[in-house]
A and B are shown apart, each in its own frame.
Chain A
Amino acid sequence: GDSVTQMEGPVTLSEEAFLTINCTYTATGYPSLFWYVQYPGEGLQLLLKATKADDKGSNKGFEATYRKETTSFHLEKGSVQVSDSAVYFCALSDLDNYGQNFVFGPGTRLSVLP
């Protein structure tokens, strides 16, 4: 079945550092790819998405490019802030006989220190 793998956390960075969180996937079809963010005690919020190869999703300074040849969707940000401290989930979505199917990675906790 489909799966999503993310780099293990926690990731600890100083403010203004460069962020990369690796995400790779396996899928039988042609999935859409997502990054979600979860702040403490809250639900998940969509951060960005990409729906086809070479698409770049971007939002709030975060970017990720859908790389079909490497089955990857790495999240990057040029300069992190303390307010970016959260858990980040990579996810894919495709369609099966029953409907839309979502698969989430295990999440990567990011801590940004002032």
Chain B
Amino acid sequence: DGGITQSPKYLFRKEGQNVTLSCEQNLNHDAMYWYRQDPGQGLRLIYYSQIVNDFQKGDIAEGYSVSREKKESFPLTVTSAQKNPTAFYLCASSMGGPIAASYNEQFFGPGTRLTVL
């Protein structure tokens, strides 16, 4: 089955530690995205990538870092510089690339819930 996987589903970290959230897709999509969702709130864009080896900051990139070394993978690192990292993190992908069109929808993974202890 094609889709997006995120792991782990639940993640606990101590203050001051960096942690990396995994996102993998087998949809052959060029574009990938990371969002943060706080309880009862909407989505806020952290980083996005339209093609391998390139990525752009979203609205709340401070305290986060990403890499895009492979088309199917877009890991997100939550660094110790992120002051309030406890949240639900969603990864998404869309067709993107040179044939990107506005009608291409985003596909979302199941999310990772990060809790800082």
Contacts and interface: CB of A to CB of B under 8 A. Distances in A.
A and B co-occur in one complex: yes
Interface string A86-114: 00010101110011101011110100000
Contact of A43 (B31, B56, B102, B110): B110
A6 B31 CA distance: 26
Please tell me the size bucket of the interface on B.
20 to 34
A73 interface: no
Contact of B43 (A29, A30, A89, A109): A89
Contact of B108 (A31, A44, A93): A44
Report which residue of B43, B95, B96, B101 has the largest number of chain A beta carbons within 10 angstroms of its beta carbon. B43
Interface of B: 4, 6, 31, 33, 40-43, 50, 56, 90, 92, 94-97, 100-111, 113
Given A42-B111, A89-B42, A107-B42, A95 B101 contact: yes
A41 B110 CA distance: 8
Return the 10 tightest CB-CB contacts between A and B, nearest first: A43-B108, A99-B50, A106-B42, A51-B103, A32-B102, A44-B108, A32-B103, A100-B100, A93-B102, A107-B42
B95 to A, nearest CB: 8
A31 B43 contact: no
25 contacts: A30-B102, A31-B102, A32-B103, A34-B105, A43-B110, A44-B43, A44-B92, A44-B106, A46-B106, A49-B105, A89-B42, A93-B102, A93-B104, A93-B106, A94-B102, A95-B100, A98-B56, A99-B31, A100-B31, A100-B95, A100-B104, A102-B33, A104-B42, A106-B42, A107-B42
Interface in A11-30: 29-30
A81 to B, nearest CB: 23
Main secondary structure of the interface of A (DSSP, over half): strand
Nearest to A52: B103
A29 B101 CA distance: 13
A78 to B, nearest CB: 24
Nearest to A6: B42
A109 B113 CA distance: 20
B111 A43 contact: yes
A102 B104 CA distance: 10
